Homo-oligomer: A and B are copies of this chain.
Amino acid sequence: MSSETMTQTSGAERRIVISVDAMGGDRGAADVVAGLAASAQKNPEIHFILHGDEAEIGPLLAKRKILVGRCEVRHAPRVVTMEDKPSQVMRHGQGTSMWSTIESIRSGEAQAAVSCGNTGALMAVSMLQLRKMPGINRPAIGALWPSTNPAGFNVILDVGADVRAEAEDLLQYAMMGASYARNGLEVMRPRVGLLNVGTEEHKGRPGMKEAHDLIAGQAEAGHYDYVGFVEGGDIPSNRCDVIVTDGFTGNIALKTGEGTAKLISAFLREAFAATFMSKIAAMLALTSLKRMQKRIDPRRVNGGVFLGLNGTVVKSHGSADATGVSSAVKLAFQLAKSGFNERLAARVAPAAAAGQDPALSKDGTTG
């Protein structure tokens, strides 16, 4: 991506182009187009390049006047399915809507990409086309988690890019997560915690202590405060802003949290349907309940951000509906507009070049 296409100015005068994969989600192109229409309605700066089967997308777009002149279609005859193996998509993925979506980032036509498709394949295609940022060994997926923080969200990473992570990778996750919290949540000096099964230093898996020491040692350079080991219960808490873990544990934690929220919503509905009195109560409380629901609705915090690549890619939930797609687009837009990826690169590249150089902290809080 050339620097001309993406600046750190407020950008009110220029357009931001988001490259969107119309296919590959569980619900199909109709929900994606509806999501784009919702985003376009709310945001006059936003433009799209939409990738997928023209015969399917064309009629859907024709129904959305708000998208006229703001959404270009790129025909892609093939689709990556949820069952496709990442390694195969890497080799034979050309001509798919996912491949084409990432290509628009690489060429600089678009400033960020969104896809609801197969996570593993999307990461593979993104790594192949965009390449890893200098200094990054394993890219990660960062997710937002509703919390009692002032910002309302915590960042957790990795939630599924790679099932493995060495101590050095966990350090990079800490740096990238802190940068994301600064740019995405406006937390200037994020508190970073390392996920473990106990908060005592002797607990946990082999290698955890090494990661603990590395992350503690780079706190100044990374402009974060390190709070040490945290537990599962701290993920939605106000103890830290960034939770660092490997992609296996992070993915299970994320899905467990979503599953628990779903279970409680089901129980709540049952509770309110139980008696005549409780039904009246539910009606009276409707506005308050909706406000609460909104805070924990996974569709509203939809979007895992791929961190550590030369380009911004947002992975939307596979089952995202129009609301979900619109949330993912909003996130992509915000990150594109803030110039997040350039800031992140500026943060991690000198760290890689300088090794443990504490002089790194001179570059202020730009990343």
Contacts and interface: CB of A to CB of B under 8 A. Distances in A.
Given A204-B163, A271-B289, A259 B237 contact: yes
Given A263-B146, A264-B296, A285-B281, A232 B256 contact: yes
A257 interface: yes
Given A259-B234, A259-B235, A261-B260, A267 B296 contact: yes
Interface string A152-194: 0000000010011000000000000000000000000000000
User: In the complex this chain forms, how many copies of it are found?
Assistant: 2
A291 B237 CA distance: 25
A205 interface: yes
A295 interface: yes
Interface stretch (A26-34, A132-140, A245-253, A350-358): A245-253
Interface stretch (A106-114, A272-280, A336-344): A272-280
Interface in A126-154: 146-148
Contacts of A164: 205
A249 to B, nearest CB: 6
Given A254-B232, A259-B236, A287 B291 contact: no
Given A148-B263, A260-B257, A281 B275 contact: no
Interface in A205-227: 205
Contact of A291 (B148, B232, B271, B277): B271
Contacts of A148: 263, 266
A195 B198 CA distance: 21
Contact size range, A: 35 or more
Among A164, A202, A261, A281, max chain B CB count under 10 A is at A281
10 contacts: A147-B263, A233-B258, A233-B259, A235-B260, A237-B259, A249-B249, A260-B261, A271-B288, A271-B292, A274-B291
Interface of A: 83, 85, 120, 146-148, 160, 163-164, 195, 197-198, 200, 202-205, 231-237, 245, 247-249, 251-264, 266-268, 270-272, 274-275, 277-278, 280-285, 287-289, 291-292, 295-296
